[in-house]
Structure 1
């Protein structure tokens, strides 16, 4: 592990690169050790999943985080066997090897399943045989994951493990945010399909939350895996044509689901922009992660259209935006791209070169192989200034020092 395993065109940014999406991928066999016995019931359910799948969490013969760190392992190996998937002291070595300075680390199965139990009833299909208070158990799982994040954050300021932020009322969600901040958390994850604290993200009752996050330089994020419940029914996707596609912990890969999975986050963000949240809180940092970047340019274009032509619709409206919606997006919002997306074409068409961010999704299967190389190959034609924004400065808004 002597030479950086990154493309030549990215080497000028080595040691400063921001990775805006990575994950812990602790297999269920070590959950009790890392999260506590509260996970035992969840682990029992996951133990029926096919073993040793790179996209899964069931590894009966998991030997520990011992895979050598080399170009092959960091760019092609996926799942719990990838180096640094479990041991975050080793994750720092992987980051060094790939030129990454700081990295957002999103939670895995424990927090995701906890959020399902906390937010959604049994009809959504997960742990249908669970006996007891689903919401209380979901809250306990989320707390266990959040405390893992607190401990991991203490390893190094280069690691930014993310805590799930829940609350049934504005006061509760603010209190929970303050507790996490006091414990050293610097990034929080909100559920995109659930009104935070039971109100619109644009409601003035949430202004104390946005003010708290902005003042503390804590980033608010939305992330794939929290879309359930946005639609009244999933019958839209219940058709033979959508059978047989892969399903992971975070989402399924049917063509219908892929076409709509960004909509809850788009709705959440549009509410914030048009409701003046970024007008009232100009220093609020906001990221939309692992939902692709194909939708942000069209959203900016659409919101600008209605902003420029909609004054007559609300002559008595209390909120007047000083900037166009696309300007708030460029200033406050960052979005990660998938490595197969033509990000260079998006920039040609929509601008917003300050919005798109590099993300490896390490060590998840969906991150693909050689993500940095694929992004670089697309962006090289736009020149080093745009590349530096994509790999470094745009992500710095989400992961400040």
Structure 2
């Protein structure tokens, strides 16, 4: 392995073992047709109409003078952002980027075509998103997602260290199983489903989904929820349509106005709370779920609330009520993995709520919101908790979603 030039000296002992639970491909729209073929043209046209470029917003896919994936990989790698960053377009270079950061394995999420297709599928009534696409939006989204899956499978074959994430949507539990099995047979080790939609149109706790959860568990395929897939959790987003919330930036995956930031975790908290209280992890104790890029401020309070109602709901119990054999917090600590934002007080969360086995490192490379020098920043926060916690945060906790 090459020297990890961007790795802080205290983390050198973990070189090649650090687990990165959030990174992204950032293929600029100028390269979409070369990667996905002519099928992507309607989406290309929709985005080409936008005035913004990466000069205005580093997260933008529009790079008019894109020179190719040629930027050098050096000590400044953790500060490189956008489509021009090394390994953003060329997945073959991502290994070199990981080496420079000391990363052993890395989840790679979609930034554009894959996630945009998923958003069109899970919000069929939202014609404001990519509004220039008028005809057969669902059919186009399905075909584009299949094409993105072809790209994901190809990237996964480059190296087992690269774990490209396949976005997945289906109308029935059987459909989820069928599509997931095809991806797993193609070598995929990570699947993303929307947090704001009923998976297969049933509750995440419904037994009809047990074959899906079992398939993922048996295949050691990570199940992940990621920001940007809130779907139909809100029947309306008009809650946020007020003058006080206008003129704030959109980072592509989410808006940074006060309303959006205050509620962005709610679909994810709802999803995992449903799984926990509905006994999914009791039926599938080896199933692990990652909640990525939603912050970690909500995990401890959620855990306390679940335990509170578990203890006090005894007063309302009838002979036929289902009751978990363990406190809900047991399943949070055993089955849930969460990536905090780089600006959050990770050490405080760990101390206050006992989340030393839950919180995990992520770089969000090369998205802007990943911050600069995230390796240094996260280390400075958890270092005072001792070497065991440091290793859990950077290596051990994330490894359950990136198994061998």
Same fold, TM exceeding 0.5? yes
The 3 A distance-change label for structure 1 pair 292 and 142 is: same
Q: Does 1:66 align with 2:75?
A: no
**Partner in structure 2 of residue 246 of structure 1:** 249
Query: Matches of residues 189-204 of structure 1 in structure 2 within 5 Å?
Result: 189-204=192-207
Q: In the alignment, which residue of structure 2 is the partner of 1:165? A: 168
**Within-5 A mapping of 1:1-400:** 2=3, 4-49=5-50, 50-52=52-54, 53-72=57-76, 74-123=77-126, 125-400=128-403
Cα separation, 2, equivalents of 1:196 and 1:121: 15
The CA distance in 2 between the partners of 1:242 and 1:346, in whole Å, is 29
CA distance in 2, matches of 1:383, 1:304: 28
Moved more, 179-188 or 228-237: 228-237
d(CA) in 2 for partners of 1:111, 1:56: 15
| Matches of 2:229 and 2:121, distance apart in 1 | 11
Q: How much has 1:5 moved relative to structure 2?
A: 1.3
The range that moved more, 33-42 or 160-169, is 33-42
In structure 1, C-alpha distance between the alignment counterparts of 2:173 and 2:231, rounded to whole Å: 21
Compared with structure 1, are the counterparts of its residues 42 and 295 closer, same or farther at alpha carbon in structure 2 (3 Å cutoff)? same
Distance, in Å, in 2 between the alignment partners of 1:319 and 1:397 is 29
Give the distance between the partners of 1:234 and 1:251, measured in 2 at CA. Answer: 13
Paired residues of 1:337 and 1:356 also in contact (CA < 8 A): yes
- Kept in 2: contact 1:112–1:250 (CA 8 A): no
Relative to 1, partners in 2 of residues 1:43 and 1:203: Cα closer, same or farther, differing over 3 Å?
same
Give TM-score, length-normalised by structure 2: 0.97
- The answer as to whether partners of 1:307 and 1:324 remain within 8 angstroms in 2 is yes
CA contact (8 A) 1:119 1:135 kept: no
Do 1:104 and 1:162's aligned partners in 2 also have CA atoms closer than 8 Å?
yes
Q: Is the 8 A contact 2:46 2:133 kept in 1?
A: no
Using the TM superposition, give the Cα deviation of residue 122 of structure 1 relative to its aligned residue in structure 2, in angstroms: 4.2
Task: Return the offset for 1:124.
Answer: 5.4
Cα distance between partner residues in 2 of 1:123 and 1:69: 40
The runs of 5 or more residues in structure 1 that have no matched partner are none
Q: Distance in 1 between matches of 2:88 and 2:218?
A: 32
Please provide the CA RMSD for this pair.
1.2
Output the CA distance in 2 between the equivalents of 1:357 and 1:377.
14
Matched residue SS, 2:139: helix
Rounded Cα–Cα distance in structure 2 between residues aligned with 1:292 and 1:150: 29
Question: How many residues align structurally?
Answer: 400
CA deviations 1:284-316 (Å, max 9, x no partner) are 021000000111111111101111221232323
Structure 1 residues 150-180: Cα deviation after superposition (integer angstroms, max 9, x where no partner)? 0000000000000011110111111111111
Helix, strand or coil at the partner of 1:104: strand
- Residues 198 and 12 of structure 1: is their aligned pair in 2 closer, same or farther, counting only changes over 3 Å? same
**Secondary structure of the equivalent of 1:363?**
coil
Q: Is the 8 A contact 2:3 2:99 kept in 1?
A: no
**Quick check: 131-140 or 370-379, which moved more?**
131-140
CA distance in 2, matches of 1:174, 1:316: 34
Q: 1:35 Cα deviation (Å)?
A: 1.7
Offset at 1:318?
Answer: 4.8
Question: 1:317, 1:382 → 2: CA distance?
Answer: 45
